[in-house]
Structure 1
């Protein structure tokens, strides 16, 4: 999988949709800012939670977005693999395959 191309295409498609429903997407983006803000849980912890959900739901573009966020938050490969271990444990075989995809995305985005 080419993660760079997938994410570029996803951003383009989301941008096109956002033009059609700007109020909805504006509200969604505002909800994201509130949900992701540091609080009792760090932003990094919240991004790991989101990545686990993305793996469980098998959403490649969601995996890409949350891996990029974790790279931006300076997540080490060791931290990342521990998070993937938990996602795999909770989700079984399908999560194992999508955790492997997420690790590939981490390696691509952390270069």
Structure 2
């Protein structure tokens, strides 16, 4: 039986880094965007956005990393919870909007 999301799984990413080094480095560079100290968007809000997106995409590794980083910069549990609930509301809204598309496709005769 498979078990998902083990801490040890991160070691497999090193295999990707070796197999596709340029692409992996581009990915790592992109991931660093969140941790930039106060751009036009302050770091606190960057972390809250990252947490909300991580919940929307379901990346448990991102959730863990960004929650830990957010806690280090004094993001409160209330701010964290609000960001997660906003993400949840938008995901539900997207499902509802796409649900209308499903009905449209169901009703089409083609």
Interval of TM-score (by shorter of Structure 1 and Structure 2):
0.5 to 0.7
Distance (Å, rounded) in 1 between the aligned partners of 2:51 and 2:9 = 17
Where in structure 2 are there 5+ consecutive unaligned residues? 94-110
Aligned-pair distance for 1:90? 1.5
1:1-111 to 2 correspondences below 5 Å: 6=5, 8-34=7-33, 36-37=35-36, 38-92=38-92
**Matched length:** 89
* Greater C-alpha Rg: 2
- CA RMSD in angstroms comes to 2.5
Distance (Å, rounded) in 1 between the aligned partners of 2:92 and 2:75 = 24
Aligned-pair distance for 1:7? 6.3
Higher helix share: 1
Where in structure 1 are there 5+ consecutive unaligned residues? 94-111
Q: Which runs of structure 1 show a deviation greater than 4 angstroms over 4 or more consecutive aligned residues?
A: none
